[in-house]
Structure 1
């Protein structure tokens, strides 16, 4: 399993200025998935500021199930927060104490009935770092085979298997705006360009 953090860090990637400070804090909301904390804070400029942070009790997990014929498996579902229908890669949450790969394997089986012999961690994301601490971890899953599905009791999922290039075009055109989906499809395309995928599979990914 490889990680994009293996690449050398450029010299310009360094912090500047002072970090945020905190003078007081209180939890104003809590449920099994998130909590919201209100802070009396001090900005890097020295100004006092009111800040609210949403803390997540799971890591966000996204998986690119890439088949040997260059297709990917996607899921469609109604999402609550934006009241929209979303086509996206298989995704889910891994509790903070769980290995992300274990969560990815579980979500791939539960949502689309697949298991993979080849797993690679390919991306780590801060999903909305202005107001949340949510971390997203993305995996590429290859050498796929069927597994038992077990969707969450609140999920009504549709499943589609489409050419990778078609999925990527839909994502960058704004038809699949889910952030993990966009980022992970672009990352896999980048891997194909850089020679980080098997040659025949890279050719299919690049169309």
Structure 2
């Protein structure tokens, strides 16, 4: 791990920072590397009693388009990953869950970002209320069967990597 003196924060926005640091690679070469420092995120695959998957259709300003994806969100200090999953599920969909099953983690952008996404299946859903979204969030809640969800992945109607990863992991583990 680099010493704190070799790290320089270039820019901070919300919970993320652009950090430049001097590091020595395993081959002994010294480089300056720029990383997006991210606190991590929770990704939730909510399964309703009728087997539908609760998803969000979210406008993504970075892409200037809507993405159909699983509910997810960034960890807020000092919450743990399951607390984050519970909070984000309720904020984005208006559902709470009796059970959260951890599926492990993925590293979505390891070339330039240290974010780890923690994957969950949520079962025993109960409707609560949606909280006010962040200023840059525009979200519609959508319910899809697993067959509809998988077909949308095949047809490139769902291109969100965290969604595809979480659905794949849940299927491989036998939850869907």
What is the TM-score of this pair, normalised by structure 2? Answer: 0.88
Structure with bigger RCO (C-alpha 8 Å, 6+ apart): 2
Q: How does 1:69-84 map to 2 (within 5 A)?
A: 69-84=50-65
Deviations 1:12-35 (A, max 9, x none): xxxxxxxx8679332211233111
Q: Which residue of 2 aligns with 1:135?
A: 116
Q: Which residue of 2 aligns with 1:170?
A: 152
The total of aligned residue pairs comes to: 174
Does the CA contact (< 8 Å) of 2:41 and 2:84 recur in 1? no
Does the CA contact (< 8 Å) of 1:21 and 1:43 recur in 2? no
Deviations 1:149-183 (A, max 9, x none): 11314222111111012212322443212121011
Q: Which residue of 2 aligns with 1:29?
A: 11
2:24 to 36, 42, 48: 42
| 1:86 and 2:67 correspond | yes
- Return 79-88 or 172-181, whichever deviates more: 172-181
Structure showing greater Rg? 1
When the two chains are superposed, the root-mean-square deviation of aligned CA atoms in Å is: 2.0
Separation in structure 1 between the aligned mates of residue 7 and residue 170 of structure 2, nearest angstrom: 40
Q: How does 1:188-203 map to 2 (within 5 A)?
A: 188-192=170-174, 197=175
